Amino acid sequence: MSALGDFVDLDRYPIDALESRRGERLLAECRTGLTAIGAANLPGFLAPAAAARLAQEAIRLEPLAYRKNKTRNAYFTPDDPALPEDDPRRRFFPIALAQAAGDVIPPESGIARLYASDALTELVRRALDLPRLYRRADIFQNLNLIFLADGGVQPWHYDQNQFSVTLLLQAAEQGGDFEFVPNLRAPDDERFAEVGRLFRGEHPGIIRPPRAAGTLTLFRGEHSMHRVTTVRGGTPRITAIFAYDEEPGLWTPEEENVTIYGPRVREVMAARRAAGG
Ligand SMILES: O=C(O)CCC(=O)C(=O)O
Ligand SMILES: [Fe+2]
């Protein structure tokens, strides 16, 4: 038996049998959500005890995560004093979280085995109607764990990737809600006035999908601005993020990974080069 049945509620989400009628129904449900709001939310994707087990495992890796405590705008750009003061690009929000890169997550861990499963990759590929899909080659970016402790927050932003797959391993006692506005920007129009409305708390289009621990979410985050609200209480919110690409072998530039995962990325890369990797 593969690791799959240990983790995934296969009765509810038959990702090992996508060709079956129930598998087709699951794919149709995912595609409906992705078309309508750019998100497919699968509550109870993990079998009941599995979320707690994977959360415990993640907590043991937390000391290896890179801590971020700074401010950031929604576009990952530096401040531009040439812009008007009320331009959304000049709005910097606190970010407070710890992020574990893929290379510190042992391949034999449950979460790494789940990410490595071809059935899960195939669910994502077919839900998104892509001809090919590969788990990301970049050893830092491929599989991440994100920890938001008391006061932790991930402010409004667009993703650099067209889509991402997140799995909530542990929910916060309070806050830690995932919120997004579908297609707030278009490929050719940033719609800064709409973004301004959102930042003033006046946007009517915010969606907050129910996400108890064990929920898998496929999300097109490139044009849908999103955030995780401030966590309150002693239980950290823990998310696993699975990255995929339509091409094999893709790596993020080293300095970008240094920003995301810390200066240790340089040492790891230097050691790989020295080893001829
Ligand atoms: O943790 C989440 O639910 C979303 C995280 C996110 O948006 C990101 O890491 O880009
Ligand atoms: Fe994001």
Which residues approach ligand 1 with their CB closer than 6 A? 146, 154, 159, 166, 178, 226, 228, 239, 241
- Closest among 9, 27, 22 to 130, alpha carbons compared: 27
- The ligand whose atoms approach the alpha carbon of 153 most closely is 1
- Which of 41, 136, 154 is the pocket-test mutation for ligand 1 (most atoms within 8 Å of CB)? 154
Whole-angstrom Cα distance, residue 182 to residue 205? 8
pLDDT of amino acid 1? 42
Report the amino acid identity of residue 158: Y
The answer to whether the pTM exceeds 0.75 is: yes
pLDDT of amino acid 2? 58
List the residue whose alpha carbon is closest to atom 8 of ligand 1: 159
Cβ-proximal residues to 194 (8 Å cutoff; 6+ apart), any chain: 181, 184, 185, 203
Residues of the chain with pLDDT under 50: 1
109 to 45, 58, 66, 132, 143: CA distances (angstroms)? 18, 9, 19, 26, 12
pLDDT of amino acid 48? 82
